[in-house]
Amino acid sequence: MGSAVEARQRQLAELRKRIAAVPARGAGAHDRAPVAAEKRREALPVPPALEGLLPDGGLAKGSVVAYRGASSLLAGLLASVTAAGGHAAVVGLPRLGLLAAAEMGARLDRLAVVAEPGDDPLEIASVLLDGLDLVVLDLGGASIPMSRTRILTAKARSKNATLVVTGGAWAGPVLRIDTRVTGYSGLGRGCGRLRGVRLNVSVHGRSAQPRTGHLAMSPCNGRVEWVDTEPAVVQPLTAEPLPINRHAAS
């Protein structure tokens, strides 16, 4: 038992040391211009194809976002933030494709990966929020008590950082993003390298009408990019948000 506690303390100490070495948040980062004339909160950049679906044109800083579905779009979020000069971390997603993120333009030197966060990944995420712009946290199928969601929500707000949670239940996020894979390309007759994926994306915010769109990931000029294949659709405000689910498609 003692050795496990000591290992945990060493892990947290190492994370705090790495956070202290990160430049001041925002140094070198350039947020995208708003995509509409409406007033929006300061936001982290996202793939351009996703901007029109989000109320703030990006991931609002100081907020918690609940995400369900394709890990490939999570890689796109990480790529956009780090390519713009921000720093990000992934907690508890050992199978997230870092190669795919790099092909989307991610700066891997600005990305920390904690594949095995131990029995309290929320504590790890809390430390990372101290110095990073974006933290993506897998909840491991857990339903997080309100007492803990409030603490991390307050931490993200006070640090002007964005926390994206996936793979579990989180009460009261500012935004919910739900994705569903509708097709793949590049596999040929059951073999070959996957070159593209098509997604349906639904976005539900607290103070904005729900929106749905269709995105596709495809190679372009030696990189992988997300493109919108159909115009975004604004849904009635009565639409119910979808809960996040642990089982995500790639």
Q: Are 55 and 79 in contact (CB under 8 A)?
A: no
Write out pLDDT tens, residues 11-63: 778 888 778 778 766 544 444 444 443 456 799 999 999 999 999 999 999 99
- Find the length of the chain: 250
157 C-beta neighbours (distance < 10 Å), count: 16
pLDDT at 212: 96
Average pLDDT for residues 73-87, to the nearest whole number?
A: 97
Confidence band, pLDDT 50/70/90 cuts, at residue 84: very high
Average pLDDT for residues 120-136, to the nearest whole number?
A: 96
Write out pLDDT tens, residues 186-239: 654 544 455 678 999 999 998 788 999 999 988 877 788 999 988 778 876 654
Contacts of 168 (CB under 8 A, 6+ apart): 138, 139, 140, 141, 142, 143, 144, 244, 246
Contacts of 220 (CB under 8 A, 6+ apart): none
Write out pLDDT tens, residues 58-76: 999 999 999 999 999 999 9
**pLDDT over 90 at 173, yes or no:** yes
pLDDT at 206: 87
In CATH, what number does 2-175 get?
3.40.50.300
How far apart CA 28 and CA 87 sit, in angstroms, is: 10
Residue 90 or residue 6, greater confidence: 90
105 token code pair: 């333009």
